[in-house]
């Protein structure tokens, strides 16, 4: 009788899980795959509000011989996940967490809140309202992702990161084959201007060689405030700082006269001018010019920290993106100290257990960015040749830019895109969120550029409603509305 009851309970449990995943067209999954998904299923996080969608988190091995494993967090779409595309989000750095920034402070469903008792706020503008949403901590050494070969950290670079991310996707889709037939898109911001196009190229190149079962259904990508071309990106930073009254006429003149950003090494006079440039940005938030900075529990020395330098990343202005200064506040309801709450939450043992994270008991705490990444083996000075190849492949490509970001400002991106020499199909046009201008857009042959008015570097943080509107239109391949509703 006891054995019969146990059998009935096991059958009921298995049926409940099968029902949960069947919403994503998972009929016919093997017992092995069902077990893998069950192991990664996140039942509920500490402080989490009740939701109807499913979430999964865990590790995917990308190189068994060196012990490399990347950590992911996946959210099914809030409605009809079986009909929605899959969207991968990558933050940059290089060396910063897509979960710490992307999920917990920008576009994910859950935002950690202040307090000793764990609490998560449901983000009503989460991008899983538009897609099945996948976050990846990449490369190894970032967040919970790890390697058992310590030398791997010193051998990182764009090529290795793209290869590891591709291997992650291959194995992730094998674990979640019910999503394999869905349209797949890449997205990200900042140094993801390198990550995303390079990963897209690796996917397309491998799709021509691998079996049909391993082909990835890549349809396009979108990148925000993206590093694309060192020369024009850095020239635009200087121009933007002067245009927005951050630096003086004298500093602007010194930078223009003494800095040649097309060269790897900068002169002593250029570095002196850059020191004065950064001195002004340490007073405000370079990522969102008109937002307050976090001043809670922050010492003067911490506020004046220099950006970490990564050898192999071209000149000083691009030593490191995320994590240098305190992050922006932005719209109503957002807190400039959000990163502090995320840090505290992700280091809780009960949170890590619920996420199936830190299974190897890392010797260091979870952080937004890994400052032990101090060398980068390859970082092309321009990604534009890769962009041109991907345009020729027919991918859907959107580049978008918050116009209050000083780190990779809209000025930089306009200079950069001009170098592509693309034919203009639709001239500069305002687009609308309800009755207000959300920004401007221009359509080139093979690429659409969108600005988001009043948004900083982290557009989903600073303008969440507009960001969700943007990604919905991108995924649906629809133009943004060029007039307010009648």
Residues annotated as part of the active site: 190, 405, 457
H or E element: which one contains 365? none
**Tokens 């010019």 belong to residue:** 289
17 phi, psi to nearest 5 deg: -70, -40
Angle between helices 31-40 and 158-175 (to 10 degrees): 120
∠250-253-257 over CA atoms, to 5°? 140
Angle between helices 249-258 and 268-281 (to 10 degrees): 140
> Rounded to whole angstroms, how far apart are CA atoms 467 and 131?
13
**Tokens 């890549």 belong to residue:** 218
**Tokens 């003494």 belong to residue:** 258
Q: Over the Cα atoms of the chain, what is R_g?
A: 22
Q: Give the C-alpha distances (Å, rounded to integers) separating 373 from 150, 325, 446.
A: 11, 17, 35
> Rounded to whole angstroms, how far apart are CA atoms 319 and 336?
23
**CA–centroid distance for 121 within its chain:** 20
Contacts 24+ apart (CB under 8 A), 19-22: 20/54, 21/54, 21/178
Half-sphere exposure of 294 (CA within 13 A, CB side): 20
**Tokens 């922050």 belong to residue:** 298
CA dihedral 158, 164, 165, 170 (to 10 degrees): 150
The token pair at 389 is: 């190849």
């Amino acid at each position: 009788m006891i054995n019969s009851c146990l059998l009935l309970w096991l059958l009921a449990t298995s049926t409940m899980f099968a029902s949960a995943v069947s919403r994503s067209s998972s009929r016919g999954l093997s017992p092995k795959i069902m077990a893998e998904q069950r192991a990664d299923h996140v039942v509920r996080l500490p402080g989490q509000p009740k939701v109807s969608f499913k979430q999964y988190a865990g590790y995917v091995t990308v190189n068994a011989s060196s012990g490399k494993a990347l950590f992911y967090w996946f959210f099914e779409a809030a409605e009809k996940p079986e009909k929605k595309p899959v969207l991968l989000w990558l933050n940059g750095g290089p060396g910063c967490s897509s979960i710490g920034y992307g999920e917990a402070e920008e576009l994910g469903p859950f935002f950690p809140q202040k307090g000793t008792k764990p609490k998560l706020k449901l983000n009503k503008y989460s991008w899983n309202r538009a897609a099945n949403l996948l976050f990846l901590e990449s490369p190894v050494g970032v967040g919970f992702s790890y390697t058992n070969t310590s030398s791997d950290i010193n051998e990182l670079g764009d090529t290795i990161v793209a290869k590891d991310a591709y291997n992650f996707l291959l194995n992730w889709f094998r674990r979640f084959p019910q999503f394999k037939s869905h349209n797949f898109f890449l997205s990200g911001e900042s140094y993801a201007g390198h990550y995303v196009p390079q990963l897209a190229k690796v996917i397309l190149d491998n799709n021509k060689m691998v079996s049909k079962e391993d082909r990835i259904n890549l349809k396009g990508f979108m990148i925000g405030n993206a590093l694309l071309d060192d020369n024009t990106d850095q020239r635009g930073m200087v121009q933007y700082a002067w245009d927005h009254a951050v630096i003086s006429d004298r500093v602007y003149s010194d930078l223009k006269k003494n800095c040649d950003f097309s060269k790897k090494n900068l002169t002593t006079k250029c570095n002196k001018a850059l020191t004065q440039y950064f001195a002004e940005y340490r007073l405000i938030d370079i990522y969102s010019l008109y937002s307050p900075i976090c001043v809670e529990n922050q010492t003067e020395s911490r506020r004046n920290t220099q950006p970490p330098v990564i050898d192999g990343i071209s000149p000083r202005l691009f030593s490191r993106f995320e994590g240098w200064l305190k992050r922006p506040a932005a719209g109503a309801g957002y807190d400039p100290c959000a990163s502090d709450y995320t840090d505290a939450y992700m280091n809780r043992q009960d949170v890590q257990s619920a996420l199936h994270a830190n299974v190897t008991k890392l010797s260091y705490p979870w952080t937004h960015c890994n400052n032990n990444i101090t060398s980068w083996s390859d970082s092309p000075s321009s990604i534009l040749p890769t962009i041109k190849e991907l345009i020729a492949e027919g991918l859907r490509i959107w580049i978008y830019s918050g116009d209050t970001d000083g780190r990779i400002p809209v000025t930089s991106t306009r200079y950069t895109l001009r170098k592509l020499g693309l034919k203009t199909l639709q001239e500069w046009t305002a687009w609308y969120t309800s009755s207000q201008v959300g920004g401007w857009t221009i359509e080139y042959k093979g690429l659409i550029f969108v600005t988001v008015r009043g948004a900083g570097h982290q557009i989903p943080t600073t303008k969440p409603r507009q960001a969700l509107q943007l990604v919905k239109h991108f995924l649906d391949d629809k133009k943004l509305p060029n007039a307010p509703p009648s």
